[in-house]
Amino acid sequence: MGITVTADSAAAVLATPSTIAVPEGGTADFSVKLSKAPTSNVTVTTARTSGDTDLTVSLGASLTFTTANWNTAQTVRIAAAEDTDQTSGSAEFTSTASGHTSAKVTATEVDNDVTGGDNEYIKRFTAMYNKLKDPANGYFSPEGVPYHSVETFMVEAPDHGHETTSEAYSYYLWLEAAYGKVTGDWTRFNAAWASMEKYIIPATADQPTNSFYNPSKPATYAGEWDDIKQYPSKLDNGVSVGVDPIANELKTAYGTSDVYGMHWLLDVDNTYGFGRCGDGTTRPAYINTYQRGPEESVFETIPQPSCDTFKHGGPNGFLDLFTGDSSYAKQWKYTNAPDADARAVQVAYWAHTWATEQNKASQVSATVAKAAKMGDYLRYAMYDKYFKKQGCTSTGCAAGTGKDSASYLLSWYYAWGGANDSSAGWAWRIGSSHNHSGYQNPMAAWALSSVDVLKPKGTTAVADWTTSAKRQLEFYRWLQSSEGAIAGGATNSWQGHYAAPPSTLPTFYGMAYDWQPVYHDPPSNQWFGFQAWTMERVAELYYATGNADAKLILDKWVKWATDNTTVNTDGTYQIPSTLVWTGQPDTWNANNPGGNSELHVSIRDYTTDVGVAGSYAKVLMYYAAKSGNATAKNVAKGLLDGMWKNNQDAKGVSVPETKADYRRLNDPVYVPAGWSGKMPNGDVINSSSTFLSIRSFYKNDPDWPKVDAFLKGTGPAPSFNYHRFWAQVDVAVALAEYGRLFP
């Protein structure tokens, strides 16, 4: 037997995080420890080795590590002196020890000599930012990809915490844009976009056969069904499909057939083991879950690779679980979540605006141009799934011939795919027929149609986004309940297969009202978070432009929301959580909008959710900054102050969450009788499968014992203090923006 001798790894000083932001006149910390046990005491000294002399070591300049405490982190504190300039200086600090490799940390001053800089909320943002960027807290993978959550035992829209979403990436951009605003350093915003482009926007190699796409035959029809047992859904060439009116102008504008949009879901750690195109190892890996109609809860999904080479699953990979055909080809396919791409555009607007104020627009111009490009492709979300004309009520309805298939709203998704084999020569694209109020972003639509650096190159793009900006605001007004909350949405394909909707349903430009568009388990518009997310964009638009329709919507919504919010003197608070809808809106008449006297919302229960509270606070602060509404400002301040007082922890902010819905981890996952296959780790997929049985890795999770006890009936419903990336960023950005808006 051969024996290989390798050199022992060199002893090193370890410092985390490698970058910190320091409020001027304040301090920020980093941690130091050793990489291996020493044989005797080791002294670590930290000193500034280059950069701004206003940044100094105020604590921990000399630290002693022993054979017992070498692996216990000790604190080095950096102070930023008060000065009168208006620049955010940086300095490099080096921690050294004899016989050890040194560690370097870059500290950037957050200047308080600019408007809003000398502000408690900017300091709080800085503290949150440092926590989020500290590798020890676990928000980012080794590749620098933001996880959906720090915690791994997480089942909600993503079915594992160390997956990530296009949503998380859009929030990563937002975090770094706010950082650029308070420090003047735009390298991190650009780096966040570069990471997004590298890992979650498919490269040419990941979408290799787009050149075969035929815009006159975008895709083959397959119906959606309420009953999951009606899957796989049969492909039907007999149903007419309309023409894709933007493919050729996009190809002309950008010189490529590739689609520039994010896929919605990544397996960052390759937990499932699909890898890239079945290689089993490449990470992050493109995956998908939902595929089978509105009743398919996350607990009933079957994860599958976005590039299906038949290496895993059954004889046809996973394809024949979802669509019914006579034969199957190895293929790639991606699904875009339009709200995330729109958020990326929205953030790019602020990055451009703030960098321009700092005379640094040129530093973000290349990234902002990419946001404009993303907005060009985002128009696929405006189109009916099969490019049918708006107002469709049967599979025999007319195919679209141009823009007559556009709703000019942001639908639930767009998707694209094609053959792995270039000799096979085919590709497809679809929009979506379902439009949810929570996905709309009139701020992004306005930016793409009105801000020169964000106007896309597609010949009809500016006109499309001009129409969309107006149409989205009409959509909100149509869906606004008597009380003020915004109802679900509308569809151009009733039940997902162009059925005739009930004749009693009101319509919006031909589309039927749907109180729970897209998914029903749970109902898609019962979560108050969608209200906060979507109204935040309306409030930004109002703040930036003074749009009168936006104000009209917000006047009513803000009163309803604040009337149902409690902020106590001790900082505890509660905000709406689960909404209940009754009645329906009036049929939309743009010339004479109705009052929706028959559309009502009530609140079933309340929450202390930090992410939703952060987003909600932003709605209130943008509205207050423009309108002068004192109640909105005070409630926003109360929420932010309350979270800061009561909900801080070492990783950010959090509150306990009891997850009784985890009883569904043993729910059956529907697999047609006779179908059998395997996950990459060998978990069997068949008609006896459950959520857990095809995700056996969860039984190795550190949180499994308390979940297992709950499932066995020997323990209570498990409680978690989750740290979702989007939620932490919503709070961090709310703090930064409160400091900016109310200096």
**Cβ–Cβ under 8 Å, residues 168 and 146:** yes
Torsion of the alpha carbons at 24, 111, 116 and 645, rounded to the nearest 10: -40
Q: Tell me which of 29, 118, 421, 570 is the catalytic residue.
A: 570
Q: Which residues of 170-197 are buried (b: 16+ CB within 10 A; e: fewer)?
A: bbbbbbbbbbbbbbbbbebbbebbebbb
Q: How many CB atoms lie under 10 A from the CB of residue 454?
A: 25
For helices 166-183 and 120-133, the axis angle rounded to 10 degrees is 130
Copy the structure tokens of residue 50.
């280059």
**Cβ–Cβ under 8 Å, residues 583 and 599:** yes
First to last CA, the chain: 71
**Cβ–Cβ under 8 Å, residues 672 and 232:** yes
Could you give the CA distance from residue 736 to residue 209 in angstroms, rounded to a whole number?
44
C-alpha distance from residue 254 to each of 209, 247, 330, 557 (Å): 17, 11, 28, 41
Looking at 660-724, list the stretches that DSSP marks H as alpha helix, in order from N- to C-terminal side: 704-712
Helix (H, G, I), strand (E, B) or coil at 644: helix
Copy the structure tokens of residue 299.
């607990």
Could you give the CA distance from residue 230 to residue 611 in angstroms, rounded to a whole number?
37
- Per the annotation, the verdict on 570 as an active-site residue is yes
Residue 595 φ then ψ, to 5°: -95, -5
CA proximity to 97, closest of 47, 147, 20, 43: 43
Copy the structure tokens of residue 74.
């000790």
Could you give the CA distance from residue 214 to residue 711 in angstroms, rounded to a whole number?
50
Helices (H) and strands (E) in the chain, counts: 14, 33
- Catalytic residues, by residue number, are 570
